[in-house]
Structures are given as structure tokens and as C-alpha cells.
Amino acid sequence: MTLSDDWFTELCTESGSAFSLKVKQKLHEEQTPYQHIAIYETEFFGTLMVIDGFIMLSDFDNFLYHEMMSHPALFTHPGPEKVVIIGGGDCGTLREVLKHSEVKQAVQVDIDERVTRLSEQFFPELCEANDDPRAELLFADGIQWVKNAAPASVDLIIVDSTDPIGPAEGLFSAAFYRDCFEALGEDGILVHQSESPLIHQPLIRNIRNAMGSAGFTQLLTINFPQPVYPSGWWSATLAGKREPLTTFRERASREKPFATRYYNHGIHLAAMATPEFWKERDRR
């Protein structure tokens, strides 16, 4: 990360690339017990949150990520009533989850309370569902929470984590996925943000292999645009126990009674398409 001449720049060393945003001013900065958080006002992308030098979200494009981390999995599960979000302290994914009336409880488990409190201050639109009676905000270790969860007690686990460094590193492990497998019901689905499908292919392969070794028999990596993340192209990997993840409640998706800015039935179908170079990757 660099900040010079009023530009914030995030370096992606593994691809030899960088992404820059013109900054008007720094709004806030602090070091929590877990990570460094900075908030900026940018010229075009609105408010920007940066954690440990990596862009987490902006006003301008966060809806792409939050909608695709939630709605494809929710419409794939036959009846998601209890949802657990690991991470997701900005509360954007929680807001999208609670748009589904069939969800009776949504538990968000993030280790760093300051992410949520700063989001309430600087990204209030993402926190609109925080007072929903179905929402429960816990500030705890998500890895430990899943390990202690009762077997088959959860319908959907969404791992809305930072990159696999620091506090989030353990969220990408086979041991964590095994605990998720035990916590999920027979129709349960795990969805994990899985970085750029263009420049992080080894990581995606490792995630899928670890999910498979944890017992998940159905895997699906979906892709979507995300301008502020490396390469501008992002992914989420879904893991299920028995039902094909390419089958979803299409009528409910078409007739969704709530507003979205990106997700719809056609986007869901398109996100499941497999690029040709992925097929070559999977043959290796």
C-alpha cells in the first residue's frame, strides 16, 4: 500500500499490478488489537475502507460483492432458515441475507468489533439490518464458534473474510472446513470468498481441494466483477453435501420480492459458467 500525491494505491505483488484511487481526505485511522483500519473519502468511489493496506470495500461497488456472496447460495439452499456469517464485519452481507423472508436467524461472527462500529459510522447504508430482530452480532473468533456449533444446526455458512493472512488465515484451512461440514445440516451450503479467478488460481484450487477433503461432495466456483479488488474480477466458492449446486430455486430468484443492484436470475446463471481456462486448470 502506498499513499502519495493524494492517491491511494494497493499493490498486488503476485501479479505485478496495482490499483489506485484518487483520495480527497483521510477520514479515520486506528490500530485495533487485530488489524490496522483506515477510512478515506475518494474522488469517485465514495468512502473507502482499507484494512492492513488492502482495500475492503467502497461505497461505489460493494453491492457486487455483498449480493454475490449471499443471494446465489440462499437461492440454492431449499429452505435457509439459519445463516451464519463468519467475518463480514461491515454488515453488507448481513443486510443482503436478511432480505430473504425465510431466514429466521442470521448470526454474524467477526473477531474485530471496530470494523462494525466504523461501518455503522461511515457506511450506515450497509448496517440498515443490524437492528433486525433476526440479526445477532457476535464479536468472537469465527473459527472457534464454528468448532463449538451443534452438529447439523446451521443451513448456510458464509465466510466473508479478508485475504488469507493475519486473523483470516485459519479460515482457509481443511480443519475449518471440516468443522463447517459438521455444523451444516444435510442440505447445508458453505460459501467462501475465493479471491481473483484470474490471478489466484492456485488458492482457488487449494480451497476446493480442502473443501473436498473435508467431506463436501458438491463444489461450485462462481465469478463476478469487483473493480476495487486485484484484477477487477472476483469469485466465491460454494460447497454442498449432496445436491448439485448448479440447481437453484429459479422461480424464486426470478420473482424475488426485494431490490438488488446486480444480482438477478440471469446473473446467477451466468456466474456459474466455466471459463475455458478453468477447464484447462482443472485438468492439470
Please identify every residue annotated as catalytic: 160
Q: Is 56 left (phi over 0), alpha (psi -120 to 50) or beta?
A: alpha
Say what the alpha-carbon torsion angle 59, 273, 218, 281 is, to the nearest 10 degrees: -100
What radius of gyration do the chain's Cα atoms show? Answer: 18
34: which DSSP letter? Answer: S
Helix (H) or strand (E) holding 36: strand 36-42
Alpha carbons 62 and 35: distance in angstroms, whole number = 21
- What ranges make up the beta strands (E) of 60-205? 82-87, 105-109, 135-138, 154-160, 184-193
